Amino acid sequence: MIHFYELSRLDTDQRARLLRRAETAIDDLLDYVRPIVRGVRDRGDAALLEYIERFDGTRLSADRLRVSREDIERAYEVLNKDVYAAIKQAIRNVRIFHERQMPHEQWFTQVAPGIMAGEKITPISSVGLYVPRGKGAFPSVMYMLATPASIAGVPRIVVSTPAGPDGETDPATLVAADLCGVHEIYRVGGAHAIAALAYGTETIARVHKITSPGNPYVSAAKRLLYGTVDVGLPAGPSEAIILADESADPELVTRDLLVEAEHGPDSSGLLVTDSRILAEKVLSLMPSKIAALPEPRQTFCNTGFESEKGTGGVVLTSTMREAVAFVNEYAPEHLEVQVREPFALLPDLKNAGEILIGPYTPIPTGNFSIGTNAVLPTGGFAHTYSCTSVYDFLKRTGVAYMTEEGYESVSETTRRLAEFEGFPAHALAVTQRKIRS
């Protein structure tokens, strides 16, 4: 039986369970991941190679950790031409979208006569991009992360991605990295990859920021390393809401509902609708649609929609207003809107990693090819975090300049506030200031 919830009939505990994500399980993994992180910190490459063999089943030597130029050239040779063309088109769209985000390098405004204040925008000096491979190869994650980093002008873009059992890195991922201007690529994944990027090893120099999606082990490592390195936005197990009314096509809604759910058993997909007719039609269509999927995707969807631990299903609300309120409370990673007048509803949709509007804008197009970024906050963090963009790879520095006139206009205000807050050196730096001619 597919999970079905009538929102108005749920008690507080049931509602809390519905809002629960796989993110909440990360706490249980911290004790498991902690010794891995410490091992890389204390033993560097030796620990890294040990963990690669233990967790990935890949035996490497230290000189094979870094992907060579020859490896990349070989990837171009073996990559399917149609896949190559698709990657190039997708990168083009992603690049065009993100180039429009770039702010001016600096700006000033006159606060008062003789007082100029503004900002200087500079790229982060080094970033680590983690590209997972556990249940498949993800060149799309590569270009979603590397394209804005490259546009932002990051001088050192480092990628960490697991190798297969044969020790080779996915060719499509390597080609995408090269097309996006990545500077270094390493064959390492999991929590140990995050630790290597954060602390550095003999082979991998540390970075100043890490951004990535990842499984709960990667998310746990990032949580442990918060404060050691900027760990970027929380991007854990996939999740999506399809917000629909009676005008939506049940067939399309059902297919779209399976999109994020097939990522893994800890992923979520919810239909939220005020139409009982639509809800019932989707519930009747889902079993056959799930059964038609190959393994392991079929099992992933069954787990998400039918098992006791699953967090996917169909949510029926009394009104569209109630549906929108629930979506904003849930703050999904992906939000697909299939209602009669979506642009009228758009101003009320406040919390989502991305909003995809209309039946011709399904989640897969956002994941791969539209141009908007598909590395998004999960676990309800769309309440406070934004989608990945060039801003994730830039930093702002305040800049100010005053003339003598400007200084004189604020010196007394500065002295009074400094003395009020108990900082005599602050006050003296103003009252005893003599500028030599």
- Residues marked active site are found at 333-334
Residue type, 192: H
- Cβ neighbourhood burial of 136 (10 Å; 0-12, 13-18, 19+): exposed
Q: Cα angle at 370 between 364 and 371, to 5 degrees?
A: 125
End-to-end CA distance of the chain: 84
- Cα separations in angstroms, 37 against 30, 32, 221, 405, 407: 10, 10, 7, 55, 50
The answer to whether the beta carbons of residues 161 and 173 sit under 8 Å apart is yes
- Cβ neighbourhood burial of 422 (10 Å; 0-12, 13-18, 19+): exposed
Strands 209-211 and 126-130: parallel
Q: How far apart are CA 71 and CA 172, in angstroms?
A: 12
Residue type, 418: A
CB atoms under 10 Å from CB of 107, counted, come to 12
Q: How far apart are CA 45 and CA 68, in angstroms?
A: 18
H-only helix segments in 135-184? 139-152, 171-179
Q: Which positions ≥6 away from 249 have C-beta within 8 Å?
A: 338, 359
Q: How far apart are CA 25 and CA 239, in angstroms?
A: 15
Q: Which positions ≥6 away from 196 have C-beta within 8 Å?
A: 40, 48, 160, 186, 188, 204
Structure tokens at 296: 């392991």
Structure tokens at 304: 């998400």
The answer to whether the beta carbons of residues 84 and 175 sit under 8 Å apart is yes
Residue type, 258: L
The answer to whether the beta carbons of residues 264 and 138 sit under 8 Å apart is no
Strands 184-187 and 268-273: unpaired
The three-class DSSP label of residue 69 is: helix
Task: Give me the residues paired with residue 338 across strands.
Answer: 244
Q: How far apart are CA 65 and CA 169, in angstroms?
A: 11
